[in-house]
Structure 1
Amino acid sequence: MNHLAHAYLSFRQPALITGNLIADFVKGRAQLSAYAPDIQYGITIHRAIDTFTDQHPVTHKAKRYFTPSCGLYSGVFVDLIYDHFLATDPERFTDDSLRQFAKYVYSVINERKSELPETFLRMFKSMEEFNWLYNYHYIDGIFRSMRGIAMRAQYLDTDPNIIYAVFMEHYEGLKLCYQEFFPDLQKHVENLLLQENRQ
């Protein structure tokens, strides 16, 4: 999953939000052990979310829309469009609540900046400046994100306009994938947190 989903599935717990967002920038046990246990648990939840998402049959179905144009990067774009459908899901966000949630997430990260990886903070600077979490709500925000991914991807030689065209052509089919998949993911994360709290 992408940034908004990881933050949302942290259920407004600051340490979970922090661990969930920095997880891709924390490599190996030595780096992991530098963080407090509650942030380490957020990193663990991030990885559990990614594993569940990658293995879910609906995600496999969603990837098939993108595979002809971007091959192994199809999963990256599915993660991104899931964030769009989460941002536009009226059962989870209004325009105002999404805006406020984004501000809350940025404030959580800013309070802990001194503890976080420099590589993450460079990415986070752009996330906050261009308000990625809120702008996933908009089609042009998704296009900008697709273009950014395409520019950074070392082994992807596809015009981002083509990837965007796939997204728009199959918008309703991809939305149905999100609607079928995301409740399963949320339930999975809630169960993990319940199990942790019982221990």
Structure 2
Amino acid sequence: LTERLGRIFTALAGEVALSVDVEVRGEITEHDVKVLELAALKGIFSDVVEDQVSYVNAPLLAAERGTAVRLVTDPDSPDHRNLITIRGTLANGSQVCVSGTLVGIAQKERVVSVNEFDVDLEPTDHLAFLTYVDRPGMIGIVGQILGDADVNIASMQVSRDERGGAALVALSVDSPIPSETLDDIEQAISATWVRAANLR
């Protein structure tokens, strides 16, 4: 899960972050969680460099690119038994973060937060995220554009901070979304931000 969160983080950021915090909360902090930091870095840099990324070279890649890395632990996790958050600061000062956990007896992987918007999303092979100003009809437009591009939606969630405020759409789709289709969506709904993560 942590490695996949790292790959999602890189897709959300769209660039190498200046700093990265790997935050581990809950019962898991009773154990050595250094491996989770390494897993996060492996995921973060897997889609940045062409060479194979391992637990051994991931910290070196971070150092080479000037990314300051910090592991933060907290035994308290109010909403989940365990929670992993990868939070980073970009060159323009903006922040990107993604959180995930394991749920249920089967310990299923779930992404539970993207840039402070609550979601409940399985980290499948092909994901997309977009933010826009909440207003009627936008979801239908997104679905229509994806359908026209022959991209099938497996699941879709909308999260918003308030009515008429900023909203996030989190999508799981069956195939990668072409970049021109993402551009079409961005223009059609005046999205403030569009990102795709292909984890396959």
TM-score range, shorter chain: under 0.3
Return the structure number with greater strand share: 2
Greater relative contact order structure (CA < 8 Å, 6+ sep): 1
